[in-house]
């Protein structure tokens, strides 16, 4: 898909050319800025953010507009919000912000905030380290066995983590992505999609997707379901006779009937951008779904149109969530891997409002990036360094940079 790239004050904006209203608003905001019409610059930026609520350049421009209008408190709040996601934000390099930064203690306040968000935090410990020849995307664990998808090599691997040996593999003709256990723990569900990171990528099959049902005992495929639309299914959960899956490509929520192995429904989430991690609450009443752009949406399992986006304060930008897992009625854990630095966070919410975010792991020294996180009998496990950044823009792997794939453990939290 063709995109438009515009750089402004060192930040990158990517605007889909089909989103004409967003492009128009951005262009109008920049025209206003160049003409020193700072109120219009602010208003167009606000209007554009209603369409794309976490676009970094738009957020930056809004903070700049407040500073140029000498609304310094609003500017400080806006830049603090952006800084929580991008701790490398360098406000000192923009001379237009000098008066704002020198007007109070803002310069020192930003320095302190930046140091806080850049500081390394490691509250986890290494649980399992697997071959650097793999590109692990997702995993489940049951007893002594650790099952994981290797999207580059087209495999699902059954690994005896107690004895430390590879038990068996299942091979596929495209990239295995998400993996989930069925309710009776006898079978695995695996999503596959033809993506360019697969070592035998075929352009004419790009984004063709299939769900496979595997018998865990011998890793044999017992059933498969072709997904009718082009999809990249990156996260799945099961409950009773249903499997719930998110597609980042469309974005859609897929509902699979696991009794008769059919696609029961495909729910278009029109207000979403890029669906990622999915979790189900303890009472099995709601799904929580991460959107890479917008945040987290809570979906009523009895009425999929009943959706509420969790509200956040201006203290923390909840952008770039990949993996997501549910702990208890007011606690979620998430992997945030588009932030700088990348991190694992704990999210406390009351009703539909996020009240607190705590950084668990931050700025680990790794070339890869964290992806999925799961609540298990061992505690919270997450993949800390998936190989995603270690390809070129054509999907060719840079093998010398690849690392052992590390699963890290956050000790069992209290429910």
Give residue 387's pLDDT.
98
Cis omega before residue 95 (within 30°)? no
Q: Name the DSSP class of 227.
A: -
User: In the predicted model, what is the mean pLDDT of the chain?
Assistant: 92
Q: Which of 77, 92, 116 is the last residue of a domain?
A: 116
Tokens at 157, concatenated = 């691997």
Report pLDDT digits (tens) over 23-33.
999 999 999 99
Give residue 411's pLDDT.
83
Question: Residue 412's pLDDT band (boundaries 50, 70, 90)?
Answer: low
Determine the structural domain holding residue 102 and report its residue range.
Answer: 3-116
Give residue 329's pLDDT.
86
d(CA 63, CA 9): 12
Question: Residue 414's pLDDT band (boundaries 50, 70, 90)?
Answer: low
Give residue 156's pLDDT.
98
Is 159 found in the same domain as 28? no
pLDDT at 11 over 90: no
pLDDT at 8 over 60: no
Is 193 found in the same domain as 52? no
Three-state helix/strand/coil letters over 143-206: CCEEEEEECCCCEEEEEECCCCEEEEEEECCCEEEEEEECCCCCEEEEEEECCCCCCCCCHHHC
CATH for 214: 2.130.10.10
Is 130 found in the same domain as 61? no
Is 130 found in the same domain as 107? no
Give residue 351's pLDDT.
81
Report pLDDT digits (tens) over 177-195.
999 999 889 999 999 999 9
Is 356 found in the same domain as 293? yes
Is 393 found in the same domain as 325? yes
263-271: average pLDDT? 95
pLDDT at 2 over 50: no
Give residue 313's pLDDT.
80
Is 134 found in the same domain as 233? yes
Instruction: Provide the 3-class DSSP secondary structure of residue 249.
Output: coil
Report pLDDT digits (tens) over 83-93.
999 999 999 89
Report pLDDT digits (tens) over 205-263.
999 999 999 999 999 999 999 999 999 999 999 999 999 999 999 899 999 999 999 99
Give residue 20's pLDDT.
53
How many structural domains compose the chain? Answer: 2
Q: Which of 84, 116, 148 is the last residue of a domain?
A: 116
Give residue 415's pLDDT.
45
351-370: average pLDDT? 95
Report pLDDT digits (tens) over 306-350.
999 999 888 899 999 999 999 988 999 999 999 999 999 999 998
CATH for 111: 1.25.40.10
DSSP output for 333-382? EEEE-SSBS-EEEEEEEETTEEEEEEEEEE--S-SSB---EEEETTEEEE
Is 191 found in the same domain as 55? no
Phi, psi for 360 (deg, rounded to 5)? -95, -65
17-25: average pLDDT? 71
pLDDT at 12 over 80: no
CA distances (Å), origin 209, targets 68, 94, 229, 236: 49, 46, 8, 14
Q: Which of 63, 82, 116 is the last residue of a domain?
A: 116
pLDDT at 392 over 70: yes
Cα-trace Rg, the chain: 22
d(CA 381, CA 149): 15
d(CA 127, CA 41): 50
d(CA 242, CA 258): 6
Is 183 found in the same domain as 260? yes
145-160: average pLDDT? 98
Is 156 found in the same domain as 88? no
d(CA 48, CA 367): 34
Is 146 found in the same domain as 63? no
Give residue 3's pLDDT.
27
Give residue 183's pLDDT.
86
Which is higher by pLDDT, 15 or 220? 220
Report the number of secondary-structure helices (H) and strands (E) in the chain: 6, 26
Is 288 found in the same domain as 236? yes
- Closest C-alpha among 274, 270, 302, 303 to residue 289: 274
pLDDT at 18 over 80: no
Report pLDDT digits (tens) over 108-123.
999 999 999 999 999 9
């Amino acid at each position: 898909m063709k995109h438009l790239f515009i750089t402004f004050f060192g930040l990158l904006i990517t605007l889909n050319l089909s989103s004409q209203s967003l492009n128009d608003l951005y262009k109008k905001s920049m025209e206003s800025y160049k003409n020193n019409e700072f109120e219009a610059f602010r208003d167009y930026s606000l209007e554009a953010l209603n369409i794309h609520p976490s676009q970094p350049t738009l957020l930056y421009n809004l903070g700049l507009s407040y500073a140029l209008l000498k609304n310094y408190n609003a500017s400080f709040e806006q830049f603090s919000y952006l800084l929580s996601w991008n701790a490398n934000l360098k406000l000192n390099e923009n001379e237009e912000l000098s008066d704002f930064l020198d007007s109070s203690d803002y310069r020192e306040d930003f320095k302190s905030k930046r140091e806080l968000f850049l500081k390394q935090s490691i509250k986890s410990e290494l649980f399992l380290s697997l071959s650097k020849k793999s590109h692990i995307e997702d995993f489940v664990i049951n007893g002594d066995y650790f099952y994981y998808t290797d999207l580059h090599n087209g495999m699902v691997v059954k690994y005896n983590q107690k004895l430390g040996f590879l038990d068996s593999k299942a091979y596929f003709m495209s990239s295995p992505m998400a993996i989930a256990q069925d309710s009776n723990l006898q079978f695995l569900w695996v999503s596959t999609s033809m993506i360019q990171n697969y070592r035998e990528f075929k352009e004419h099959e790009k984004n063709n997707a299939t769900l496979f049902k595997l018998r865990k005992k011998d890793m044999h495929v017992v059933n498969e379901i072709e997904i009718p639309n082009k999809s990249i299914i990156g996260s799945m959960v099961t409950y009773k006779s249903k499997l719930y899956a998110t597609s980042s490509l469309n974005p859609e929520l897929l509902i699979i009937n696991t009794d008769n192995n059919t696609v029961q429904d495909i729910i278009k989430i029109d207000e979403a951008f890029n669906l990622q991690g999915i979790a189900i609450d303890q009472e099995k009443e709601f799904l929580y779904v991460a959107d890479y752009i917008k945040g987290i949406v809570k979906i009523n399992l009895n009425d999929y149109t009943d959706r509420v986006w969790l509200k956040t304060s201006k203290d923390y930008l909840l952008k770039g969530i990949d993996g997501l897992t549910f702990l208890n009625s007011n606690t979620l854990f998430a992997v945030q891997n588009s932030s700088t630095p990348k991190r694992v966070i704990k999210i406390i919410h009351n009703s539909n409002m996020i009240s607190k975010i705590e950084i668990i792991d931050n700025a680990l020294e790794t070339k890869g990036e964290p992806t999925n996180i799961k609540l298990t009998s061992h505690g919270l496990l997450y993949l800390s360094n998936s190989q995603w950044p270690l390809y070129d823009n054509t999907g060719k792997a840079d093998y010398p940079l690849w690392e052992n794939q590390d699963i890290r453990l956050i000790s069992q939290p209290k429910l």
